[in-house]
């Protein structure tokens, strides 16, 4: 009702930066960044979905790793897709085999079409429940449209802070 009275939601007012061919992603969650090869699912480990890194989370809050637009929020809330101003499509996939949880233990704070800024809360999840009901809490961060990318520089093997620590620097083809 407030949306109707006062106009757009706060999320829609996020100012989008100019496209410059370079996207810098920070970690979407507190934890340790590891190579995709450590993800216990061949779809991610063998880069079938795209290139990137994964984070072994130490908390259950997922934040926007970059300013962009929420292109997809899976009905089960275990994954979200964000498109950057440079057109790079980023998939954040919380845990492995979490789709089978049917959304149990997940709470979304965004919807498709929302504009988000770095650090905006996207999803909260119950780490204990994911550990109990799914294979892993490891969270792949994937570039799904690598055909537009010329380089991806990765940070791996270190502790990261959600919304702060750089994990990927992506340069798009000109």
Query: Which residues form the catalytic set?
Result: 93
Exposure b/e, 2-15, CB count within 10 A at least 16 = b: eeeeeeeeebeebe
Distance CA 43, CA 25 (A): 22
Of 171, 131, 114, the residue nearest 148 (C-alpha): 171
Cα separation, 27 vs 55, in Å, equals: 8
Q: Beta-strand (E) ranges in 3-43?
A: 22-26, 31-35
Q: What whole-number distance in Å separates Cα of residue 34 and Cα of residue 115?
A: 28
Q: Is 168 within 8 Å of 156 (Cβ atoms)?
A: no
CB 115 within 8 A of CB 9: no
């Amino acid at each position: 009702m407030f949306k109707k009275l006062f106009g757009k939601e706060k999320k829609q007012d996020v100012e989008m930066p100019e496209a410059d061919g370079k996207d810098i992603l920070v970690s979407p969650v507190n934890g340790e960044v590891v190579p995709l090869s450590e993800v216990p699912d061949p779809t991610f480990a063998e880069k079938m979905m795209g290139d990137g890194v994964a984070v072994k989370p130490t908390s259950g809050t997922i934040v926007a790793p970059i300013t962009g637009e929420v292109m997809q929020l899976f009905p089960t809330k275990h994954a979200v897709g964000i498109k950057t101003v440079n057109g790079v499509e980023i998939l954040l996939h919380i845990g492995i085999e979490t789709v089978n949880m049917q959304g149990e233990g997940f709470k979304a704070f965004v919807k498709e079409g929302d504009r988000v800024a770095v650090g905006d809360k996207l999803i909260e999840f119950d780490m204990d429940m994911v550990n109990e009901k799914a294979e892993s809490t490891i969270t792949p961060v994937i570039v799904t449209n690598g055909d537009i990318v010329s380089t991806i520089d990765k940070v791996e093997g270190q502790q990261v802070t959600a919304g702060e620590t750089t994990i990927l620097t992506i340069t798009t083809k000109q």
